[in-house]
A = this chain, B = another copy of it.
Amino acid sequence: MIPAAPDVNGVAVPPEILTARYAHSQDGAPRIVIIGGGFGGLYAAKALKNAPVRITLVDRRNYHLFQPLLYQVATAALNPSDIAAPIRAVLRKQKNVNVIMGDATGIDVDRNVVRLADGELAYDILIIATGATHSYFGHPEWEENAPGLKTIEDALEIRRRVLRAFEAAERETDPARQQAWLNFVVVGAGPTGVELAGALSEIARQTMIRDFRRINPTSARVILIEGVGRVLPPYPPTLSEKAASQLRGLGVEVMTNAIVTNVSDHGVRVGETTIPTRTVLWAAGVQASPLARTLGVPLDRTGRVLVEPDLSVPGHPEVFVIGDLASVPNVPGVAPAAIQEGTHTAKNIERMIAGQPSLPFHYHDKGSLATIGRAAGVADFGRVKLSGFLAWSAWLGIHIFFLIGFRNRLLVILQWAWAYVTFQRGARLITGKVEPLMKE
């Protein structure tokens, strides 16, 4: 008999998922809890499809988000639901998974319990896959004027700011103020920053060009600021050079070795210069999910867990950390790494259940890709390095292939084809609160 579960925050927790310490569920199958339905968590759950386990996947959102295409929502090319799928629907047919919506706030490794904002979940084996967000390098106050791009809400906020900036410029009569509305600064030239800057330049030069009467959208400036010496720092230098030249071809001003020292609602300070702008987008820095701090184990300087070679937490072989939250030497924070870590951990769990020792994780680098606007991009597949149209085609194909759900694939292909032919972006809506456009 399993003891009755205590109420947490006044909410009754179903006894079959909250049991006493180390107890197994009624049917004797180990209870696996997976926190996070991103690439790591979702692929771990899928890889456990035939395992004799009871999985509870908990996420504070009800959907899996295909983050590599999030910048396309931010730049009005795609809809949120084109790149997101309800986790429940994705795992509908997998009978050993129970999906619940809940916000994990802490891990109690001694009691084998995940604390939620409104309850608790007991586990025998835990996979933590809550990812990372952007970091403002000790300046959290910059966030208000320089939103990052990690969630659908972030993407809609960026879309709102970019589109409102053109609307405000159309109404502004003072030339200097008008230009400030038309200056867009992207901080950080990793793949997200490069993709954002390329798309912003295309919006100004192609999408908006015939829509305004007073402003000339091509007078918009897009400035991409990178702290180190080249764009796409993790890529081979030859590709960085190609990417920079493609960006310049699109009209993006690339500033390397440039350190941002202040961000306000009227400008970005870079060294001794201030760039007047009303729109700053943040694509720099990484900061791990705060959940890691509740584990009480050593973290790296960005807050990621220093995991064992098998991705388990030191001293807790039953707790695994995967994806952007795990600090693994020489493994980048990209979707393919999270997917590989998820499936590897699923394999290790099956081995644990079979009484076999776990195996260390090895990352298979299948290459890197970035797109830089229309029919341009760079790709590094080890020996094969591509740029321009070929890289862009590879990028298209791979992203469509990995996108979850046939419906989403179809809609994305259709909208990309439409945008390619017409130069239009279909989701140019300024949603959210109605606020005065013109302000000091």
User: Which residues of A come within 8 Å of B, CB atoms?
Assistant: 9-14, 60-63, 79-82, 84, 86, 88-89, 92-93, 98, 100-103, 116-119, 152-153, 156, 163-164, 167, 170-174, 210-214, 407-408, 410-411, 414-415, 418, 422, 424, 426-432, 434, 436-440
Contact = CB atoms under 8 A, between A and B. Distances in A.
17 contacts: A9-B436, A11-B171, A13-B173, A61-B430, A61-B434, A62-B163, A63-B428, A63-B430, A79-B80, A79-B82, A80-B427, A81-B427, A84-B429, A86-B428, A88-B212, A100-B171, A102-B437
A80 B12 contact: no
A205 B103 CA distance: 28
B81 A426 contact: yes
A86 B414 contact: no
A62 B429 contact: yes
A437 to B, nearest CB: 6
Contacts of A415: 407, 411
Contacts of A172: 12
Q: Binding site of A, secondary structure by majority: helix, strand, loop or mixed?
A: loop
Given A170-B100, A171-B119, A432 B84 contact: no
A81 B430 CA distance: 10
Given A61-B430, A118-B439, 11 more contacts: A14-B171, A61-B434, A62-B429, A79-B81, A98-B214, A100-B170, A102-B171, A103-B434, A119-B171, A408-B426, A414-B414
A174 B438 contact: no
A92 B62 CA distance: 38
Nearest to A15: B173
Name the 8 nearest CB pairs between A and B, nearest first.
A118-B436, A81-B427, A118-B438, A79-B79, A11-B438, A101-B167, A117-B436, A88-B211
A429 B9 contact: no
Given A88-B212, A171-B119, A424-B89, A101 B12 contact: no
Contact of A101 (B89, B211, B430): B430
A210 to B, nearest CB: 5
A167 B89 CA distance: 13
Nearest to A415: B411
Contacts of A11: 171, 438-439
Nearest to A408: B426
Contacts of A117: 436
A39 to B, nearest CB: 18
Nearest to A10: B440
Given A407-B418, A429-B80, A118 B88 contact: no
A12 B12 CA distance: 59
B430 A62 contact: yes
A211 B98 contact: no
A398 to B, nearest CB: 23
Contacts of A431: 80, 152-153, 156
Contact of A210 (B92, B214, B424): B92
A390 to B, nearest CB: 28
A171 B172 CA distance: 51
Contacts of A418: 407, 410
